[in-house]
């Protein structure tokens, strides 16, 4: 009899280790090999993925999409579409130049689209008044040579008539032009004129659906007056 009735168990460590070694070697022998791809194959796969990425849209096309979103926001009473457009202002301004704005205006407002607000810049040769929206907006951009003008007129006249856009679309384009003119010191004086005219147009329209765009325009107006050294005269 053993003390406390406990029977000792004899553990054979040598036999246990030998059994473990046999089982481990069996598992290693049955393990399938993993095929490793060479580095060249990985780089080729990455190149294929990069080639499949869609190309970014042009700035003029992006402006046209934004105008459609603004028109949708006003017609459906959903201001979130307008706020979505305004969130892209900073990135879009870096890609805008005179030609981009001109192409976008002519694409969005073909020749013949009327404008309710007539400015002094709408007076063309002979004292006649051109109250088209594209003339009102293009007058703030540098003129182009006559052959390009003729070709653009042919292209715009060939397009079918488009539905009239909401005034907020024109104010959005005015905002883009205003911010573009503020970039260069040579066009800051023209930017101040555009700022004053845009404020008059906003006050004449007096539309609550224009509040989000108007806030951005007021910020640009303050910036135009600040660069001109007349910040105290910015607000009425």
Q: How confident is the model at residue 14 (pLDDT cuts 50, 70, 90)?
A: low
Q: Per-residue pLDDT tens for 172-214? A: 999 999 999 999 999 999 999 999 999 999 999 999 999 999 9
In sequence order, what DSSP letters do the residues of 123-156 get, joined into one string? B-GGG-B--BHHHHHHTTS----HHHHHHHHHHH
Whether residue 117 contacts residue 204, with contact meaning beta carbons closer than 8 Å, is answered with yes
Q: Closest by alpha carbon to 136, among 116, 164, 151, 155?
A: 116
pLDDT of residue 113: 54
Q: Which residue has the higher pLDDT, 25 or 81?
A: 81
pLDDT of residue 36: 60
Q: Which residue has the higher pLDDT, 107 or 111?
A: 107
pLDDT of residue 210: 95
Q: How far from the centroid of its chain's Cα atoms is residue 77's Cα?
A: 22
Q: Per-residue pLDDT tens for 35-64? A: 665 555 556 656 666 566 677 889 999 999
d(CA 132, CA 113): 5
Q: Closest by alpha carbon to 133, among 87, 77, 67?
A: 67
Query: What does the pLDDT average to over 92-97?
Result: 94
Q: How many CB atoms lie within 10 A of CB 24?
A: 10
Q: How confident is the model at residue 130 (pLDDT cuts 50, 70, 90)?
A: very low
The contacts of residue 61 (CB under 8 Å, 6+ apart) are none
d(CA 41, CA 49): 13
d(CA 136, CA 123): 9
Asked if residue 163 has pLDDT above 80, the reply is no
């Amino acid at each position: 009899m053993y003390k406390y009735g406990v029977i000792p168990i004899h553990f054979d460590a040598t036999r246990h280790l030998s059994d473990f070694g046999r089982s481990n070697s069996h598992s290693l022998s049955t393990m399938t090999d993993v095929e490793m791809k060479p580095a060249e194959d990985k780089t080729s796969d990455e190149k294929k993925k990069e080639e499949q990425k869609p190309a970014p849209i042009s700035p003029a096309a992006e402006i046209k999409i934004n105008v459609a979103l603004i028109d949708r926001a006003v017609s459906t009473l959903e201001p979130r579409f307008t706020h979505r457009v305004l969130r892209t202002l900073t990135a879009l301004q870096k890609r805008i130049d005179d030609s981009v704005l001109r192409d976008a205006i002519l694409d969005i407002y073909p020749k013949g689209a009327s404008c309710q607000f007539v400015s002094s810049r709408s007076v063309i040769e002979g004292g006649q008044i051109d109250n088209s929206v594209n003339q009102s907006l293009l007058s703030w951009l540098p003129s182009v040579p006559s052959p390009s003008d003729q070709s653009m007129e042919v292209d715009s006249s060939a397009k079918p008539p488009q539905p009239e856009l909401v005034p907020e679309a024109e104010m959005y384009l005015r905002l883009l032009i205003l911010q573009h003119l503020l970039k260069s010191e040579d066009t800051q004086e023209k930017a101040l004129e555009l700022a004053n005219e845009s404020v008059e147009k906003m006050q004449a329209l007096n539309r609550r659906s224009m509040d989000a765009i108007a806030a951005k325009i007021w910020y640009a107006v303050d910036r135009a007056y600040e660069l001109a050294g007349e910040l105290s005269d910015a607000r009425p």
